[in-house]
Structure 1
C-alpha cells in the first residue's frame, strides 16, 4: 500500500478501537464505543465493497421467531434460555428502531404469518396444540397473546386451513437501514474502510498489530463482528450458513402483505415494492450450505421457484428479477457469543439468523464488555 503521511496520520496513527466487520453488530458497537469514549479513534475494517455477510443481504424481517421455531428451540434449550433469546431479539429490535427511527428503516408493522404445507401435518398439529402454552410462556414479555390462528386470506395453495398470525412482526428495508447506520457512524467520526481484508493479527503487551491488504498498523483493542466468517480469524465455534434468496419482477395488484414463514423458518417470504422476496432452502442441503462462498445452487433455487408457483403465487404469472445469497453465523446453541478472546481482542458473533433482531443489542453488549 502506497500511503501518504496524511493517510497514515488520519486513519492509522493512535487507533484506540479497530472493529472488523461493518455490519449491524460492528456499527452499533462503534456507536456505543463513541458514546462511552467520545475522544477515541475508532476504525472499522470491512472486506467487501458493502458489508459482506448478511447485514445488506437479509430479507428485512423484524421478527423474533415463528411459533414452530420457538417450539423447536424448546426441544433443544431450556424454557428460560428460550425466553431470554426472545427477550434479546425483541429488545434488539426496539434498540434498532430507537437508534435509527422507523422512517429511516421503512418500518412497516404488517404482522407475520406462519403457513403449514399440506404434507406437514405433524408440525401443524403440534403448533395448534401448543399455541396456548407458547402464549403463556411469552405473556410475561408481551403482556398479551402473541400467536393466534386465522383463516388464510391470501389465497395460498397447498397449505393447511389455518395460519398462525403474530401482530408483533414487521418489515424493514434492509438497504435503507444499513445506509442510515453507515451515515450515523460517519457523522459520529467513525472511520470506515472498505475492501480491507484482515489477514492476521498479533497481540503485544501494548495492543494488537493488525495486518490487512499487506499493511500493518497497531490498535489498542481489536473487535471481531464477522459473524458467519468468524472462524477464519478466531477459534470460535461458529459455522457459516448460506441463505439463498430471489425476488420477482413487480406484480400488478399484488395483495400479499406481511412477513411469512414456512417449514420451521427454513423458508420465508414477504412483499416489497410490489414484488415477492423469497429465501431459504438451506435444509435441502445442510452440508453444501455450510459455506462462506456467495452463490446459488440449482437444487435450492428450483425449490424456491416451485414454492412460488405452487403455494405463494399459484394463479399469478411472475418473472424472477434477481437472485443472491448471504452468510449467517450459527452454532450448536442459538445464544450469541459476546466474549473476550485475549487481553486486547474481543468478539460478538453467532447471531443464529436473527441479525436484524439482535445485531444492535450484541453490538452494544460488545462495547460494554470492552
Structure 2
C-alpha cells in the first residue's frame, strides 16, 4: 500500500479503538467510546461508500414490533424475553431521539397500523383474540394500552374490516438520521475511512493486528458492528437477510399517513410526503433472500407491485420511481449478540431487522464492554 509517513502517522499509528461498520451501531459505539475515553484515538472502518448494510437503506420505521409479530415471537421466546426485547427497542428509540433530537431525524408521531388481508382470517382472529393479553403484559412499560382496533379510514383494498392501531409508532428520515450521526462523529474527532474491507484480524499480546484491503495496522481494541455481514468475521450465527424496497413518484392528494405492517411484518409501507415506500416479501423466498448480495428479484418485485395495486393504492394511478435493497442481520433468536470474542475483540450484531429501534442502545452496550 502506497501510504505516506503522514498518512501512517495520523490514521494508523497509536490507534486505541477500531470500530468496523459505520451504521447506527458502529457510530453510536464510537461516540460512546469518545465519551468514556476523551483522549483516545478512535477509527471507524466502513466497507461501502456509505454505510453498507441497512442503516441508510431501511424504511425509517420507529417501531418495536406489530401485534402479530409479538404474538409470533411468544411462540419461540418466553414471555419475559419478549417483554425485554420490546423494552430494549423502546429504550433504544428514546435514546436515538435524545442523542440526535426529533428535528434532526424528522420524527413524525403518526402512529402505526397493522392490516390483515381478506384471506388471512386466522392471523386476524388470533390478533383480535390475544390483543387484551398483549396489552396487559405491555402495560407496565407503556402505562396504557398499546394496541387498539380501528376501522380502516384510508380506503385500502382486500383487507379485513379492522386495522390494529399503535399510537407509539412513528416515522423518521433515515438519511437525515445518518447525516446527523456522521456530523456528530466528525465533531467528536473520530476518524472514518470508507471503502475499507477487513479481511482478517489477529488478537496478539500487543493489540489486534487488522488486515484491511492490501495493508495492515495495529489497534488496541477491535469492535465489530457489522450486523448482517457479521457471520464471516465473527463466526457468529448471524444470517444475512435481504430486504427489497420500492418507492413511488409523488401521488396527488395522497391521504395515507403513518407506518403500516402487513402479513406479520413481512411487508411494510409508509408515506414519505406524497410518495409510498413499500418493502418486504422475504417470506416468498427465504433461502434466496439469505444473502449479502444487493439487488432485486422479479418474483418479489412482482408481489410488491401486486399488493401496491390491490391493497395499498386500489383504483389509483402511480409510477414507481426507484427500487433498492438492504441487508439485515437475523438469527434463531431475536436477542442481539453483544459480547467479547477474545482479549481485545468485541461484537454487537444480529439486530433482527430492528436497527433503528435498538441500534443506539446496542452501540452503547458494545462500547461499555471495553
TM over 0.5: yes
Q: How does 1:39-188 map to 2 (within 5 A)?
A: 39-188=39-188
User: Alpha-carbon deviations, 1:7-45, whole Å to 9, x = none?
Assistant: 111111100000000000000000000000000000000
2:355 matches 1:358: no
Matched residues in 2 for 1:35 and 1:150: separation?
Answer: 45
* Cα distance between partner residues in 1 of 2:20 and 2:346: 10
1:83 positional shift: 0.3
Measured in 2, the distance between the counterparts of 1:124 and 1:340 equals 42
- 1:239-291 deviations in Å (ceiling 9; x for gaps): 00000000000101000000000000000000003100000000000000000
Runs (4+) off by over 3 Å: none
Describe the superposition over 1:28-68 as per-residue Cα deviations: whole angstroms up to 9, x where unpaired.
00000000000000000001000000000000000000000
Identify the residue that residue 317 of structure 1 maps to in structure 2. Answer: 317
Is it true that 1:258 corresponds to 2:258 in the alignment? Answer: yes
Structure 1: 5+ residue runs without aligned partners? none
Provide the residue aligned with 1:210 in structure 2: 210
Give the Cα separation in 2 of the matches to 1:342 and 1:96: 29
In structure 2, distance between residues paired with 1:355 and 1:214? 31
Q: What SS is found at the alignment partner of 2:276? A: strand
Partner SS, residue 189 of structure 1: coil
Kindly state the Cα deviation for residue 315 of structure 1 after the two structures are TM-superposed.
1.6
TM-superposed deviation, 1:355: 0.2
SS of the residue aligned with 1:254?
coil
How far is 1:364 from its partner? 0.1
Structure 1 position 299 matched with structure 2 position 303: no
1:346 matched residue in structure 2: 346
Q: Structure 1 CA distance, aligned partners of 2:231 and 2:73?
A: 24
Mapped to 1, the partners of 2:172 and 2:232 lie a distance apart of 30
Match of residue 269 from structure 1: 269
CA RMSD in angstroms comes to 0.5
Residue deviations 1:129-174 (CA, integer Å, cap 9, x gap): 0110000010000000100000000000000000000000000000
Shift of 1:234: 1.2
CA distance in 1, matches of 2:12, 2:273: 42
Match for residue 287 of structure 2? 287
Q: TM-score, normalised on structure 2? A: 1.00
Instruction: Quote the residue 2:5 is aligned against.
Output: 5
Match of 2:226 in 1: 226
SS of 2:130's equivalent in the other structure is helix
Structure 1 residues 323-346: Cα deviation after superposition (integer angstroms, max 9, x where no partner): 000000000000000000000110
Query: Partners of 2:137 and 2:327 in 1: how far apart?
Result: 31
In structure 2, list runs of 5 or more residues that go unmatched.
Answer: none
After superposing the two structures, state which structure 1 stretch, 197-206 or 296-305, moved more. Answer: 197-206
Question: TM-score under structure 1 normalisation?
Answer: 1.00
- SS of 1:69's equivalent in the other structure is helix
* Paired residue total: 370
For 1:203 and 1:83, locate their aligned partners in 2 and report how far apart those are by CA, in whole Å.
37
The Cα offsets for residues 285-314 of structure 1, whole Å up to 9 and x where unpaired, read as: 000000000000000000000010000000
Distance between the aligned counterparts of 1:108 and 1:2, measured in 2? 48
CA offset at residue 80 of structure 1?
0.3
Distance 2:102 2:80 in 1: 30
Which residue is 1:243 aligned to? Answer: 243
In the alignment, the residues of structure 1 paired with residue 356 and residue 216 of structure 2 have an alpha-carbon distance, to the nearest angstrom, of 32
